Amino acid sequence: MIMVSAMLVLFFLNSKAQEKENRFSFELNLGSSFATKDLGDANLNTAFGSEFMFHYQLMSHMGTYVGWGYNKFSAETSFAGNSMDFEETGYTFGIQFKYPIANSPLSYFLRAGGIYTHIEIENEDGDIIENTGHGLGWQVGAGLDIPLSSKWSLTPSVKYSALSRESEIGGIKTPLDLNYISVRIGITKKF
């Protein structure tokens, strides 16, 4: 009980000290994703992806984030047929540690969290032929916060994501392990 009370007092004092700071921010990032292994038997091409996230700063260097992301991979041949697209969409959440670099205006950040996403398999006509349903995965990442003004920052980053789902097409079940590295460039607005 004493430990909980002490943590609440520290949280209250910290929040009072940061009242004048911008504790919320919104980030939009775009970039490429590179599969680190085949998806089933599909050799995935480089994907285009995007993500938007809301951040909340809990303490001076620690915060949380929640958002939504999208990645579109394609494959010439796969267990699902030829010329298929594999779209991963869903939610992202986690914690972020952000710390200034020496005496510069730059900061680095580290992120660790979860994803709750699914994979839709689409044919050449854009018809969805399979949806794996949402499931939990994980991700870790790192990047830089480069201030453009007091409210805006540029946020280049790299992250690794992993998701395991299962596809069933024509009565045949295929385990799908979507593991990829994303290279993103983002813009963040504090408010």
**pLDDT tens-digit series, residues 142-162:** 999 999 999 999 999 999 999
Identify the CATH number of the domain defined by range 23-190: 2.40.160.20
Residues ≥6 apart with Cβ < 8 Å to 169: 79, 80, 121, 129, 130
pLDDT at 18: 46
- Mean pLDDT (whole number) for 178-187: 98
Of residues 7 and 169, the one with the higher pLDDT is: 169
- Name the CA dihedral angle for 163, 63, 26, 181, rounded to a multiple of 10 degrees: -30
Token digits of residue 23:
């504790």
Phi, psi angle pair for 45, to nearest 5°: -80, 170
Residue 156's beta-bridge partner residues?
185
Share of the chain above pLDDT 70, in %: 90
pLDDT digits (tens, 9 = 90+) for 66-118: 999 999 999 999 999 999 999 999 999 999 999 999 999 999 999 999 999 99
**Rounded-to-integer distance, Cα 184 and Cα 109, Å:** 14
**Residue 22: predicted pLDDT:** 84
